[in-house]
Amino acid sequence: MSATRIVITGMGAVTGFGFEWQTLWEKMLGAEHCVRPWQPQDLQDNEFPVRYAAPVDMTLLPGHLQNHPAWTLPLEKRSRFGWVAASQAVADSGLNPGQLREAAVLCASGAPQHMLADMLLTQAPDGAAPDWQHLMARAAEVSAEGSLRQANDRLARVIADDLGCEGPVINISSACAGASQAIGNAFRMIRRGEVDVAVAGGADSVLNLDTMAALYLLGAASGEQRWGADLCRPFDRDRSGLIAGEGGGFVVLESLEHALARGATPYAEVLGYGSSLDAYKVTAPQPEGRGAALAMQAALDDAGLQPQQIDLINAHGTSTPLNDVAETLAIKQVFGRHKHFQTLAVSANKSQFGHLIAAAGAPECIVTALACLNDLVTPTVNLHEADERCDLDYCAGQAVSRRVDYALSNSFGFGGLNTSLALGKYREHGQ
């Protein structure tokens, strides 16, 4: 690999905790979570079987973001969150428009939001079967903010247009591995010299009737009510499924040379990226964690790191019965030498701000970078009694102060699409 070093110089995150990464970090270190009672807006009765989620709370919108154009243009919710997160990341980086002109934008934005009201426009006036012909005849009534009007790469383009970026503008589609793929692809683009700067991340919201109904029917989303808002319990024996969050996260990546030339201070260094395919079943992870292990090993190889150098794994940790066991097994495979898995820290952010689906890897990468910067590991909350097959140090309950020189951030997508990012503490003179 070339000697080009790639660093994170800007970060932006929109989650249920708020609209700034500083708030996210502070709340997470305080072992808080932002899961709360939730029902789809379209329903009047409190009858939807999924009762909890981690939605973005618009009352937390800070004054300086209230006039952001994302809130007024016709956009899907995911695009609004993503645009704001990307703007925050770029502002955080201190890059000016001239420095962004040849930058790349890479973005994962998940599935489009189907509007039930749009679908009902297919209704025939004479009661005949619904038909797209009727919808086309009533095209003027179609929502400007739903899937019929919004192309899937809308967010990537709106960010590029706003920032004036003329480099590659890429929309990623790899389910819950999407944002991690976006950051990994951006890292490699800079390393091989395709661009010097990239704005990469993702945004998503599945908190709508259509998508959540599908996730519930598939058995992925938890309808558990026993634990109230504390039901996201990664690695716990009482975990029952994913708890959806919404929002977005973006990082600004630069070659170190570019960053230092303009006087920027890196948060952390991106060292490697790996991906793999389970090739097992579309609805379940490979039970021994084969694909997850391949992705982690690929990230280590790409970074030139040995497994025993890793201090922290920011786990995918979905709180689903299958993922958490398979991921634990994968960690044991990769970090088996000298039983290093017994000493490394494993943390699952989804217990704190939910599962951001396609965007999940972005705020989790930010949290991993901050762990490297501050030598602090955020906790896995709601983990009270670990599944007997989940026997690693998951940093249950409270933040941990420990040295973090190197860390992995895992994101595993539905259908067995796996990614892992290798990050390291930024050092002036290299790793």
Q: Binders of another protein among 202-241, rule CB under 8 A?
A: 209-211, 213-220
Asked if residue 282 binds another protein (CB under 8 A), the reply is yes
CB of 245 to another protein, least distance (A): 17
Task: Tell me which stretch binds another protein (CB under 8 A): 60-68, 287-295, 362-370, 392-400.
Answer: 287-295
What is the rounded CA–CA span in Å between residue 366 and residue 11? Answer: 7
Range 235-274, binding another protein (CB under 8 A): 274
CB of 39 to another protein, least distance (A): 10
Among 157, 237, 340, 402, binds another protein (CB under 8 A): 157
Range 81-120, binding another protein (CB under 8 A): 105, 111-112, 114, 116, 118-120
Query: Which two tokens mark 93?
Result: 């980086």
Query: Which two tokens mark 345?
Result: 């820290």
Q: Which is nearer to another protein, 15 or 181 (CB)?
A: 181
Give the H or E element holding residue 44. none
Task: Tell me which stretch binds another protein (CB under 8 A): 20-28, 288-296, 330-338, 372-380.
Answer: 288-296
What is the rounded CA–CA span in Å between residue 80 and residue 311? Answer: 35
Phi and psi at residue 327, in whole multiples of 5°? -65, -40
Q: Which is nearer to another protein, 75 or 156 (CB)?
A: 156
State the residue for tokens 């920027």: 264
Q: Which is nearer to another protein, 217 or 261 (CB)?
A: 217
Cα separations in angstroms, 115 against 48, 52, 112, 146, 393: 17, 21, 9, 6, 43
Among 22, 91, 97, 131, binds another protein (CB under 8 A): 131
List the catalytic residues.
176, 316, 355
What is the rounded CA–CA span in Å between residue 268 and residue 373? Answer: 6
Range 410-429, binding another protein (CB under 8 A): 413-418
Cα separations in angstroms, 427 against 322, 344, 363: 38, 21, 22
The count of residues in the chain is: 431
Handedness of CA 160, 165, 171, 175 (dihedral sign): negative
CB of 289 to another protein, least distance (A): 13
Q: Which is nearer to another protein, 92 or 210 (CB)?
A: 210
CB of 336 to another protein, least distance (A): 18
Report the b/e string of 296-329 with b at 16+ CB within 10 A: bbbbbebbebebebbbbbbbbbbbbeebbbbbbb
Task: Tell me which stretch binds another protein (CB under 8 A): 70-78, 141-149, 312-320, 335-343.
Answer: 141-149
Asked if residue 165 binds another protein (CB under 8 A), the reply is yes
Q: Which is nearer to another protein, 181 or 351 (CB)?
A: 181
DSSP 113: -
Q: Quote the distance between the C-alpha of residue 198 and its chain's center.
A: 17
CB of 130 to another protein, least distance (A): 6
Q: Which is nearer to another protein, 152 or 374 (CB)?
A: 152
Asked if residue 36 binds another protein (CB under 8 A), the reply is no
The Cβ-side half-sphere exposure at 397, using a 13 Å CA radius, reads 3
Among 82, 168, 266, 379, binds another protein (CB under 8 A): 168
| Helix, strand, or coil (residue 223) | coil
Range 299-358, binding another protein (CB under 8 A): 302
CB of 259 to another protein, least distance (A): 22
Q: Which is nearer to another protein, 294 or 390 (CB)?
A: 294
Q: Write down the H helix ranges in 281-381.
A: 290-303, 321-334, 350-353, 361-374
CB of 343 to another protein, least distance (A): 28
